[in-house]
Amino acid sequence: MPEKLKTTLRYYGISPWEIQVLYEFLNSHFIVIQDEIEPNDEDFVSFIEMEIPLPFNEAFFQWFDFKRWEKVKAIFKEIKRRRGGRNALKIKINFSGNPRIVFTVDSEDRHWFNTAVDKIDFVLELLPYHLDPEKLPSGISEIRYKFDPESARWRPNATSSENKKYTFIENSWKKIN
């Protein structure tokens, strides 16, 4: 894996201490560009978006180190704990690659929020199935995942190509425009 790629942290409603701790874990492997933005979602007090310039795969976690990834997840859970219940925190993690993989963690319930954060890396096992060319619409550039509390797992939620959008319903992709 290349060393010191650029990653971007966009955020609002995050304390300087919280962002500094997250920055320290990312700075060991990335040049971190911080972008404090204006709140853009009235449903959330705090927001963090991480742009990871590498594909979501086993090689990323080996390069970044699973222990370091666990610490990043612990920071996310601590930020949620400090904000309490309701829709206090939304986290979006974007992995580059073809297709780009996006995880959004936005559960009101702290237990489900923590479970979602803990299980992001579990998607690695299902990724070959989710990216099966026979099941995936052609030309897609991004797959968005949403945590399903009923089954306690991440599910593909939506995908898009240059001019088409799809949603994942009943174990298949359905065109929505």
User: CATH number, domain at 128?
Assistant: 3.30.429
pLDDT of 159 > 70? The answer is yes
In a domain, 161, yes or no: no
Tens digit of each residue's pLDDT (9 = 90 or more) over 77-102: 999 999 877 778 999 999 999 899 99
State the pLDDT at residue 53.
95
pTM of the model: 0.91
Domain count, the chain: 1
- Domain containing 52 equals 5-138
- DSSP string of 72-140? HHHHHHHHHHHH-SSS-EEEEEEE-SSSEEEEEE--SSHHHHHHHHHTGGGHHHHHHHHT-TTTSPTT-
7 Cβ neighbours under 8 A, 6+ residues apart: 26, 30, 31, 32, 33, 50, 51, 52, 53
Is 128 part of any domain?
yes
Residue 48: band (very low, low, confident or very high) from pLDDT cuts 50, 70, 90: very high
